[in-house]
Amino acid sequence: MPNTKSAEKALRQSKTRRARNVTRAKAYKDVVKQFRKLVEAGNVKEAQKLLPAVFQKIDKAAKTGVIKPNKASNLKSGVSKRLAKK
């Protein structure tokens, strides 16, 4: 438990930031899973429509520091390769 006012505020801030980070991480993971399921099922047209949303979620996660920029690049590259293979 925090002992000072500033420590109480820091705790509130960290809880808020953690909630925001968890939400963004879940958002990009969910959309990537959805995309992969579409590609594996053979719904290439649906996957192509979802691709901009996938990139948007990954970029937002990288921009806000939820994931590192290189991980974002790797994810986007992997998504693109999956689509190209089908």
> What is the domain-level CATH number for residue 81?
1.20.58.110
Residue 85 pLDDT > 90 = no
SS3 65: coil
Residue 67 sits in which domain range?
5-85
Summary mean pLDDT of the chain:
96
For residue 28, name the pLDDT band (cuts at 50, 70, 90): very high
For residue 1, name the pLDDT band (cuts at 50, 70, 90): confident
Report the phi/psi class of residue 65: left, alpha or beta, with left for phi > 0 and alpha for psi in -120 to 50: left
Mean pLDDT for 7-35 is: 97
If one counts the domains in the chain, the total is 1
Whole-number percent of the chain with pLDDT over 90: 94
Mean pLDDT for 62-82 is: 97
> CA-based angle 62:84:50, to the nearest 5?
50
